[in-house]
Amino acid sequence: MTVLHAAQALTPAGWQADLRLTLEAGRFSSVEAGRPPEPGDTSVAVLVPGLPNLHSHAFQRGMAGLAERRGPASDTFWTWRETMYRFALRMTPDEAEAVAAQAYVEMLESGFTRVGEFHYLHHSPDGRPYGHVAEMAERIAAAAALTGLRLSLLPVLYRWSNFGGAAPNEGQRRFVSDLDLFARLVEESRAAVTDLPGATLGVAPHSLRAVTPDDLSAAVALAEGGPVHIHAAEQVREVEECEAWSGARPVQWLLDEAGLDPRWCLIHATHMTPDETVRFAASGAVAGLCPVTEASLGDGIFPAPGFVAAGGRYGVGTDSNVLVGAADELRQLEYAQRLGQRQRNVLAAPGASTGRALFDAGLAGGTQALGAEGAKLAVGAPADCVALAGADPALIERQGDALLDGWIFAAGSRAVDAVWVAGRQVVAGGRHVAREAVAARYAGVLRRLMAA
């Protein structure tokens, strides 16, 4: 049993001073405001619920920063993807676990307490399934168990290389499954997460490039009511090819044919018409925004003002993990809007804090998208929380929402002091408790992968 005392804390009833929380059996068993600290309490300056990271490809952390040299022609998403394929094709299960553990340590150190792992690196390097078809998913679960990050596992159905069922290419051999194999992957993935506290399982038909309409229906059925995630409308070329195939744009097609509802999460949804934007918002599905990766890949800017005005729900994800940071994603989301609109404080309501608006949306949208029980500082809720360092230069003398503005816009991950997941402290003094061991194993893996 741990008792935390927070000088300031963000509860469902708003900011409260002198909050005492008892963490017991993974949950908050008592939460009382206006109480002085008692001997034996762990005192923190600022306490907020842990954020969900709704979209990650953990293995890509290993190639972060390796695709920043310009090629002979103009460099696009599609040349980055070639680098990613070459990297992915070499990784053994043990190496994938080590890279995922490194990514998950960094997520926790930045204030994320759950990850939605959109997992498509399934098969052996020659493309044959492992004897245990979910071998790689089990490694993701092992990395989550090792680091204490909560897991929402989203096994990916990847069948084709382009719209209309074009045959997959050689670089995709580790990703590709037929429907029978995918059903086994989902079943074994479900077993792989059963022992992880609070884990959820969904499915992820990769994109409308990679599944046909029939494949999509089959995949959704396997979710058994859990989350359904799909990449959509990330790239202009993808939108054009979707129109050539179906006469409809990707988000339009999903609205018309797939029956979007609150279980769904469309990753990116960057390129939408105003009509698609409003209809997507009205569906109750979540927009899974990955602002740092979208900027890294030159995808474009999500039409956030129209989406938010129509009541749209969104959360954030670290996607390619080129940079891992909860504050970084929220800040980049707002900054892209500012650059596009040539305005400030685009995503806040008039008179309100932008940091608070981003934080609340990311918490609610990410929780919904991952089919998870939400983190909140309330009795009975999962004890997943983040302490911010009140002594950080960007947080000094701030109160309430200004603390979130200081974290997101002025300090970033540096302000994260301590993190608890399921009542267990996994970050202390800004460092994950297993940081050194995880980093040493990761360094060994990178030495081999970079030499190959």
Q: Looking at beta carbons, which residue is closest to Zn ion?
A: 319
DSSP string, 70-90: --SS---HHHHHHHHHHHHTT
- Contact at 8 Å (CB) between 233 and 268? yes
Q: In the block, which residue shows the tokens 């680098």?
A: 83
Q: Shortest distance, CB of residue 40 to Zn ion, whole angstroms?
A: 44
Interacting residues with Zn ion (CB under 5 A): 319
Strand order in the sheet with 27-32: 27-32, 14-24, 2-11, 42-49, 385-388, 416-421, 424-428, 431-432
What is the DSSP track for 78-137? HHHHHHHHHHHTT--HHHHHHHHHHHHHHHHHHTEEEEEEEE---S-TTSPPPSSTTHHH
Q: How far is the CB of 79 from Zn ion (least distance, A)?
A: 17
In this structure, are residues 231 and 267 in contact, taking their beta carbons and an 8 Å threshold?
yes
User: Looking at residue 362, what DSSP letter applies?
Assistant: H
Write the burial class of residue 140 (CB in 10 Å: 0-12 exposed, 13-18 middle, 19+ buried).
Answer: buried
Residues 6+ apart with CB under 8 A from 435: 105, 109
- Shortest separation between residue 60's beta carbon and Zn ion, angstroms: 9
217 membership: H or E segment, kind and range? helix 213-222
Smaller CB separation from Zn ion, 5 or 231: 231
CA distance 375 to 326: 15
- Which residue's CB is nearer to Zn ion, number 207 or number 252? 207
SS3 sequence of 269-305: CCCCCHHHHHHHHHHCCEEEECHHHHHHCCCCCCCHH
| Nearest CB to Zn ion, comparing residues 22 and 293 | 293
In the complex, least distance from residue 268 CB atom to Zn ion, rounded to whole angstroms = 8
User: Is the CB of 231 or the CB of 441 nearer to Zn ion?
Assistant: 231
What residue type is 141 in one-letter code?
A: A
8 A C-beta contact, residue 427 and residue 419: yes
The β-bridge partners of 56 are: 117, 319
Catalytic residue numbers?
268, 319
Longest Cα separation, the chain: 68
First vs last C-alpha separation in the chain: 48
